[in-house]
Amino acid sequence: MLTDTDLFRRKFEQGLSYTDFVATGQAEGHHLQWQQRHEQLALDAEQGKLLNGFARRMNVLCLSGSWCGDCALQGSAMARVAEASDKIQLRFIPKADEHADLIVPARINDGFRVPVSWFMAEDFAFISMFGDRTLSRYRSMARKALGSAANVLAPPPADPVREVLAEVLAEFERVHLLLRISGRLREKHGD
């Protein structure tokens, strides 16, 4: 498992803001799917209140492709979450050879997949890796590919796009709670 704090810090510093990353796909027209998803994923008041109450800073680095539909959905959901909290610093890096030192150790099911996101503490200590698709997306894919053999008990969500937002938000909340009750960070911050 990749846990190199210096590598995470360096890649984060090289990372792009959401807006700058989306702009990298303009020449091919990829930015349009990102803009569409971003518009669909506005947070409700309760979600905003949760994020506004975050007490710990976290750094999130998302390996992504501007061409990738799942990246557009998850990345836009992450951007909406980060926009709602000054405690969340979010950066994107493209799946490119120059980032092989991060990509190669981050294989999922022995493949180079996107999106993959790393959640880190304020000092870039590794907390969690999130990727490549959310559970609701895999359920949907399994239903389509395997039919009744998919063995999926949960019914399809009423709004699959908002379900991904809920799953992404849940991961941010989980990481925040981990950071909030961390003995190391409670000692550091005196709380």
Per-residue pLDDT reduced to its tens digit, 122-145: 999 999 999 889 999 999 999 999
What pLDDT, on a 0 to 100 scale, did the predictor assign at position 121? 98
Residue 97 binned pLDDT confidence (cut-offs 50, 70, 90): confident
Helices and strands, counts by H and E, the chain = 9, 4
What pLDDT, on a 0 to 100 scale, did the predictor assign at position 104? 84
Q: Whose structure tokens read 């704090």?
A: 5
Residue 54 binned pLDDT confidence (cut-offs 50, 70, 90): very high
Question: 38 vs 48, 154, 181, CA distance in Å?
Answer: 15, 26, 31
Domains of the chain, CATH where assigned: 5-189 (3.40.30.10)
H/E stretch holding 171 reads helix 160-181
Give the total residue count for the chain. 191
Residue 2 binned pLDDT confidence (cut-offs 50, 70, 90): low
pLDDT digits (tens, 9 = 90+) for 151-185: 998 999 999 999 999 999 999 999 999 999 999 99
191 exposure class (CB count in 10 Å sphere: 0-12, 13-18, 19+)? exposed
